[in-house]
Structure 1
């Protein structure tokens, strides 16, 4: 019996597996376990360093109602704090981004001012510095572990977390991706998407291309999912969260990862000739995937809002020299991943609605072609169970 192979085949160990039960995508108790054991204990990608280039520039990130501020301090360092004033608990700011003058975070409510590097309380109006009943050192902002790697901002809410280097097996795990020089790329476009689906469904969708020929005509035309994936050298390590998903070749006649396959920008400087007609994918659990093509990088981060709602941030990164040109053109890349992403969000939303049905109480099945989804499921299960 002949079988049509899609998703580039699968490893010998792949088999049929159960999905999560339906309630795993809607149950508040299960969602809270995910927050406690995954989201508040894992290195997360919060954006790109070039988003906050100047002293006082900041971003806010929200994880299920927990708001965080990422700020460029006076010395150029990037630091993250809970978005909570230590006076009366007010949020320090509501904006997605902006600038705190001179790198001092000032609460709009009573003007308590904090240092952007240390979080130390600098000034509290109407309280004398020598007041013995008030200890400024006890009122510092709560700081969050923050590191920058290859231009990406990484945060971890667990103060006892291992370093990013250890969690990601750096720099060895990143060896393949050095050819894209991501540290020096610049943000050409950023888009925010609201998705009415559980965060896991979005990441599960990203973990397989079993669906690609059905819902992604543009993507399937450019990189046919029936082709074998380009494997990553086994010497490049993975970790519990860093997963190399390999590369895909472009269809003959296509020269770039976009809808028409035409060239609008030169390849990245120094990119080997044999890599120009490929795109590589990297997944970092629980919420990030990166696609690296010859002339731009697309990345997406997923953040949970509630068990049934998520926010996805899409980023398009380019060689800064290309962005500075008078005739700079990036819309081909933006359009390609925007249409593909919207197709994915619709699929995730439909799956979420179906997963609420009483007929899906015990879940469904994952085929061998969805072995990467199985791996992600096992990661979530392990963390939720405290392993």
Structure 2
């Protein structure tokens, strides 16, 4: 593990930010949706959100709505939330259960197979005629893969596999210790942020702001403590970014509001890991914060050029949840920190809309991870459509 001298690597430099219009222009936003969001793997949720046959949740990405569901065969499939009859939304609720894993349109009761997406029946319509065949009608599916309990989706049918895209190693020296696939959701929250999605990811990519707007987090993980980055066994790929670790203030035991231990640490952690919180970023929209006794996950979904929905998940061991051990301390620290972040992003959105910010601002060497994110976005936008 390397420690950054002075807070940033030697190659970091001063450079421009995104231009102002890149945070406010509707055409630019649409291009980002098509060139980035429709072509990459996105963290949709956790498998325990759909434990039973027919369980589903929906995802909103700009104008597209998706259904992620547990099928009759026990697999998890994702479909566009659009009936192939006359375009009605199939599911209006954010979560629910579809009886026996069949997807039935609320408008005209066309019913689809949850496993294959094929049309099973259409009331008062023959299954087979010269002009119509149920067998040939099918919901539009979205590629879905499971990785360590996380559900990942990709709307590009020709995209490389999740493993190829991330170049995931068989074993990570840090990540594997958390046994993610066996963790369970202890709490979920959804936030609406009136800011461009890039501002949220930029904010998550640096801690330059932490001492100013995160007094609670800074009390337990002071931003001036040594920061570590890029473990040699974790691939720093185009999409998967290991941001690093922050250390607890000496004398404190956990990353929460008072620094006290309310749960035992994860069993596979070494003593040196218990005093840190590790961060993983997945471009373009999610990050995982790995504390010694819980994991916090955030996934951002752009709805409009100046509106983003964030879904937050708090993960714990099954034993902690079954034994009803306290978890509110973990929820509070990241709920407070997240709300502080989202307010700051809204400040930035308001400033970005000013005529004096048309040419953008300045990224300093300490903003080097923000610069990496900017380069990622621009590279994606330059790729053939």
* TM-score, normalising length: structure 2: 0.97
Deviation sequence 1:105-146 (CA, Å, 0-9, x none): 100111111111110111111112232321223310001100
Aligned residues of 2:173 and 2:233 also touching (Cα < 8 A): no
Question: Does residue 383 of structure 2 align to residue 386 of structure 1?
Answer: yes
Question: Does residue 228 of structure 2 align to residue 225 of structure 1?
Answer: no
Q: Give secondary structure in 2 for the equivalent of 1:105.
A: strand
Distance 1:229-1:172 versus aligned 2 partners, 3 A rule? farther
Structure 2 residue corresponding to 1:307, chosen from 305, 308, 322: 305
Q: Give secondary structure in 2 for the equivalent of 1:40.
A: helix
Tell me how far 1:8 sits from its aligned partner.
6.2
Residue in 2 aligned with 1:3?
A: none
Tell me how far 1:26 sits from its aligned partner.
0.8
Point out the more displaced range, 343-352 or 127-136.
127-136
Q: Give secondary structure in 2 for the equivalent of 1:370.
A: helix
Aligned residues of 1:8 and 1:229 also touching (Cα < 8 A): no
Aligned residues of 1:8 and 1:227 also touching (Cα < 8 A): no
Tell me how far 1:231 sits from its aligned partner.
3.1
In the aligned structure 2, how far is the partner of 1:385 from the partner of 1:173?
33
In the aligned structure 1, how far is the partner of 2:278 from the partner of 2:67?
31
Work out the number of aligned pairs and report it.
381
Question: Does residue 362 of structure 2 align to residue 365 of structure 1?
Answer: yes
In the aligned structure 1, how far is the partner of 2:359 from the partner of 2:379?
19
In the aligned structure 2, how far is the partner of 1:181 from the partner of 1:34?
34
Aligned residues of 2:277 and 2:292 also touching (Cα < 8 A): yes
Residue in 2 aligned with 1:215?
A: 213
Question: Does residue 319 of structure 2 align to residue 344 of structure 1?
Answer: no
In the aligned structure 1, how far is the partner of 2:230 from the partner of 2:69?
36
Q: Give secondary structure in 2 for the equivalent of 1:369.
A: helix
In the aligned structure 2, how far is the partner of 1:41 from the partner of 1:8?
36
Aligned residues of 1:7 and 1:225 also touching (Cα < 8 A): no
Question: Does residue 278 of structure 2 align to residue 255 of structure 1?
Answer: no
Aligned residues of 2:172 and 2:233 also touching (Cα < 8 A): no
Distance 1:19-1:172 versus aligned 2 partners, 3 A rule? farther
1:196-211 equivalences under 5 Å are 196-211=194-209
Question: Does residue 110 of structure 2 align to residue 112 of structure 1?
Answer: yes
Structure 1 residue corresponding to 2:151, chosen from 149, 153, 167: 153
Tell me how far 1:183 sits from its aligned partner.
0.4
Aligned residues of 1:172 and 1:237 also touching (Cα < 8 A): no
Tell me how far 1:375 sits from its aligned partner.
0.3
Deviation sequence 1:73-96 (CA, Å, 0-9, x none): 011100000000000100001111
Cα RMSD (Å) of the superposition?
1.4
Deviation sequence 1:157-212 (CA, Å, 0-9, x none): 00101000101112347552110001010000000000000000000000000000
Q: Give secondary structure in 1 for the equivalent of 2:89.
A: coil
In the aligned structure 2, how far is the partner of 1:7 from the partner of 1:109?
61
Aligned residues of 2:23 and 2:306 also touching (Cα < 8 A): yes
Distance 1:174-1:307 versus aligned 2 partners, 3 A rule? farther
Residue in 1 aligned with 2:126?
A: 128
Tell me how far 1:332 sits from its aligned partner.
0.3
Tell me how far 1:237 sits from its aligned partner.
1.4
Residue in 1 aligned with 2:350?
A: 353
Distance 1:70-1:105 versus aligned 2 partners, 3 A rule? same
In the aligned structure 1, how far is the partner of 2:68 from the partner of 2:297?
19
Q: Give secondary structure in 1 for the equivalent of 2:320.
A: helix
* TM-score, normalising length: structure 1: 0.96
Give the gaps of 5 or more residues in structure 2.
none
Deviation sequence 1:8-56 (CA, Å, 0-9, x none): 6100000001001111001011001100110000000001010000000
